[in-house]
Amino acid sequence: MGPRLAFRTSRPPVKAQLGPLPGGVVLSATAGLGFPTGASRISGHVYNPYVQFPWSREVGGGWGLSGMFTQFWFPGQPKSNAISEATFVVEREVGAHADLFVEYVGDDPNHGGPSQVINSGGAYRFTATQQIDFHAGFGLTNRSPSYFFGLGYSVRFDSLF
């Protein structure tokens, strides 16, 4: 299966940190709404609620483990198209300004078969508020994209408000 389109939405969340838990695991709970932005054939016409439970644990020596359980709902769809998603990430700091990661992502929609991918990449922070990043991956199921890649630039506006 070739590359697929991603949903383009803005997702302002509300987040609460629930840990640290025993074993050094940091757990949070996040809830939010995906706002339809861009082309309606991609993002739809209605708000899409979601809840997430991200977790992380520093292993030591620059290594870390993290993951997230997410439930997405798409009430504007003609049938219930809720999606459950689980991720698991192994990451490694490479010097003071860079990191690399390998991630498993599994999507399990209410209708249709699961999609599973392996995603890998890294980031380089060239200032305290700017970074470039890259990722590439491949699908593990016939409902997954065969391959994908991306490049990005991020800037954080500290003290904006």
**Share above pLDDT 70 across residues of the chain, in percent, rounded to a whole number:** 83
pLDDT at position 4 is 37
**How long a stretch of residues is the chain?**
161
Which whole-number Å values give the CA distances from 154 to 18, 50, 127, 132, 149, in the listed order?
A: 27, 24, 11, 6, 17
Digit-coded pLDDT (tens) for 2-46: 333 333 345 556 888 887 788 889 999 999 888 777 666 656 677
- Looking at residues 97-126, what average pLDDT do you find? 93
Contact between 87 and 116 (Cβ < 8 Å):
no
Domains belonging to the chain, first-starting first, are 9-155 (2.40.160.10)
Question: Cα torsion at 101, 30, 70, 73 (round to 10°)?
Answer: -140
